């Protein structure tokens, strides 16, 4: 029997096309990346207006890659930012007005999705997960496990980076923004090097 939601779309892509794209970029089609695809789609459809948006991801796991795959926002161009609250949520907002929409995986909607619920709440070890069933459930569920709320982003976010003077570190000799202090933060012990 044909799966009832095999024609589920993620933006202009079929779920299968998105999965291929995701595997190529992310290395595998992690459950969070697949749910993330539906979250991006859902956020775009519920944007309060306008064409341009910036994105905040509330986790560094998987979700940022869904944003990078499906929108012009990347971590390196600055239109995507990660603020790690540990929640599985993204916010799309218009930088000029601050108006945005926050989309989150809604625990209240997970009850009827056993495999997703079990994965999300880490109810069983990874090796006991039924990956195929999990992926099928996520595609079946699509946006049905998501909720959204309007948000207003503060106009002073992000703190506008000063076009700071670039100076050479007296310790390593490399260039860094003067405002970071007397030495660069690499020489101040920020890096995990022995």
Nearest to 42 by CA among 149, 124, 135: 149
| Residue choice 1, 7, 51, 77 for contact with a second copy (CB under 8 A) | 77
User: How many chain residues are in contact with a second copy, going by CB under 8 A?
Assistant: 68
Q: Residue 76, interface with a second copy (CB under 8 A)? A: yes
Smallest CA-to-CA distance from 42 within 70, 65, 62 is with 70
Q: Decide if 11 contacts 42 (C-beta within 8 A).
A: no
* Nearest-10 crossing angle of helices 63-70, 15-26: 110
Cβ atoms of residues 62 and 26 within 8 Å: yes
Whether 102 contacts 86, CB under 8 Å: no
Cα distance between residue 43 and residue 47, in whole Å: 6
Cβ at position 4, least distance to a second copy in Å:
27
Report in angstroms how near the CB of residue 171 gets to a second copy at its nearest: 11
Position among 4, 96, 127, 166 found at the interface with a second copy (CB under 8 A): 166
User: Does residue 162 bind a second copy (CB under 8 A)?
Assistant: no
Residue with smaller CB distance to a second copy, 7 or 77: 77
Q: Binding a second copy by CB under 8 A: which of 16, 17, 20, 84?
A: 84
Nearest Cα residue to 91 out of 107, 73, 76, 109: 73
Tell me if 33 contacts a second copy by CB under 8 A. Answer: yes
Binding site residues, a second copy, CB under 8 A: 25-28, 30, 33, 56, 58, 60-66, 68, 72, 74-79, 82-89, 91, 98, 104-108, 120-122, 151-154, 156-158, 163, 165-166, 168-169, 172-177, 180, 184-186, 190-194
């Amino acid at each position: 029997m044909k799966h009832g939601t095999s024609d589920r779309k993620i933006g202009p892509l079929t779920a299968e096309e998105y999965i291929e794209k995701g595997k190529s970029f992310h290395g595998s089609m992690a459950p969070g990346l697949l749910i993330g695809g539906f979250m991006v789609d859902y956020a775009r459809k519920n944007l309060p207006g306008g064409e341009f948006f910036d994105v905040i991801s509330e986790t560094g796991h998987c979700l940022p890659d869904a944003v990078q795959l499906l929108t012009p926002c990347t971590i390196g161009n600055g239109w995507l930012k990660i603020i790690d609250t540990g929640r599985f949520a993204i916010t799309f907002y218009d930088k000029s007005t601050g108006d945005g929409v926050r989309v989150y995986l809604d625990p209240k909607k997970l009850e009827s999705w056993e495999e997703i619920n079990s994965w999300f709440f880490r109810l069983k070890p990874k090796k006991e997960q039924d990956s195929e069933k999990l992926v099928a459930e996520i595609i079946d569920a699509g946006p049905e496990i998501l909720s959204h709320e309007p948000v207003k982003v503060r106009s002073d976010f992000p703190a506008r980076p000063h076009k700071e003077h670039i100076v050479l570190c007296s310790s390593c000799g490399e260039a860094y923004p003067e405002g970071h202090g007397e030495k660069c933060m690499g020489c101040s012990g920020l890096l995990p090097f022995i």
